[in-house]
Chains A and B, each alone.
Chain A
Amino acid sequence: MTALDRFLVGAAVAVSPAAHRDTRREQWLADVRDAQELDLSPTALAFGALTTALFHRRAGHRSTWGESMTAAPLTVRATPHTIPTIPVLLTLAVVSFLGASLGLGLLQRYNGHPGGTQSALLVSFCLTVVPGLAVGLSVMLATGSPLRRRTMGALVVLAVSVLWWAIVTGFLDLPTHPALALGIIAGAWLAVWLVVLRRPRWTWSLLLLPIVASVVVFPLSNGLYGTQLAYSVKAALATAVDALPFLVAVAGAVIAARFSTDAPALVEAHGEALVDKSA
């Protein structure tokens, strides 16, 4: 079992309801440990444990990611959709951001190359608009909120993305300290998520998290330019670390879902059903 597998299982257990933690920890550690006996990927299993813990916690919450069949077995599709869509979209957003960071570094290396303008435009889109589209789509797919509310939320997310793109490309300057810019963008997205899903008021304090992360990352990002690394590497790394406020915003959204007191039966009475014969 690798350190990553152990970390993923640990995270999955940590976000599980307290009543499930002991059982899940032992079960998932045993499964990940023995996965290779069945030619299964331990890391895929550990990731599955994490998605289980993150997205299957509430009574009435969708328990599988498969297509509904209800009464008529004829409606079963041969290849049902089984991917947890919102996590995949958010992963896509992060991958796009990190890919754009790499692209930005390469642009420094090939400065003046024909097609540089188009490449810079593509990189700026991947850095800002693509993550914004992914987040906006996630808002649209969120359950428990009326369509109109989700649509409005997604439009606000897209507007913020365009604003961010304008800042990145130099068309616009936010009238704030540069250290706050990323935190404001990530905080705005998180705020949309909280409003759309009608999270309780205390969760608004979570908006401080991306702001703080942004302030912390700013000197770190700038400090990278003072290192001895090649300029293209410095540019790529300095941009990549800017993902931190956004990751913190995602964590804030998870915390808001995990600890919201108005969430229906967040901790299910699930442990009772787990029969331990060995006891």
Chain B
Amino acid sequence: MEPIRRVTAPTLDVLDALLASDDAVWGLLVIKATGRQAGTVYPILERLERQGWIRSSWDDDAERSGPRRRLYEFTADGVEAARALLDARQAATDAAARAARPARPTGRTVTS
């Protein structure tokens, strides 16, 4: 599995959407879950697959005729790496929130 050279916010969103399910996820559901443009999500899915983070397969629902849906799921390495990236984002978000919070008043009287 190749590391992602540029981890972008849309990439993290796609990873997050894929992690939300234990089963293979339809690509369109990833687009829906991330709320991002198809033109953003499709290339990310292809790149993640090319780099070995995820794999794809055709939906085998025999009741649905016509073109088949493409499903995506993590590889064993990919799921661990994705969790690590998302944990890092969460930690960074938490740290940023703490930094932005105003300092707690000490209750000590300030005298001049």
- A residues whose Cβ falls under 8 Å from a Cβ of B: 23, 25-27, 29-31, 33-35, 38-40, 44-45, 47-52, 55-56, 62-70, 72-74, 76-77, 80, 82-84, 268, 270, 273-278
Contact = CB atoms under 8 A, between A and B. Distances in A.
A63 B92 contact: no
Given A27-B27, A73-B89, A65 B40 contact: yes
B56 to A, nearest CB: 6
A63 B58 contact: no
Contacts, number: 147
B57 A278 contact: yes
A277 B43 contact: no
B26 to A, nearest CB: 8
A55 B43 CA distance: 9
Given A23-B70, A72-B92, 19 more contacts: A26-B68, A30-B59, A30-B67, A39-B32, A44-B38, A48-B41, A50-B39, A62-B6, A65-B39, A67-B8, A73-B85, A73-B89, A73-B92, A80-B8, A82-B10, A270-B50, A273-B52, A275-B55, A278-B58
Contacts of A80: 8-10
B83 interface: no
A273 B49 contact: yes
Interface of B: 6-12, 27-29, 31-32, 36-44, 46-47, 49-50, 52, 55-60, 66-70, 85, 88-89, 91-93, 95-96
25 contacts: A26-B58, A27-B68, A27-B69, A29-B67, A30-B66, A30-B69, A31-B27, A31-B28, A34-B69, A35-B28, A38-B28, A40-B28, A48-B40, A49-B42, A52-B46, A55-B39, A56-B42, A64-B8, A66-B8, A67-B9, A73-B7, A73-B91, A73-B93, A76-B92, A82-B36
Contacts of A50: 39
Nearest to B52: A273
Nearest to B36: A82
Contacts of A29: 66-67
Contacts of B10: 64-66, 80, 82
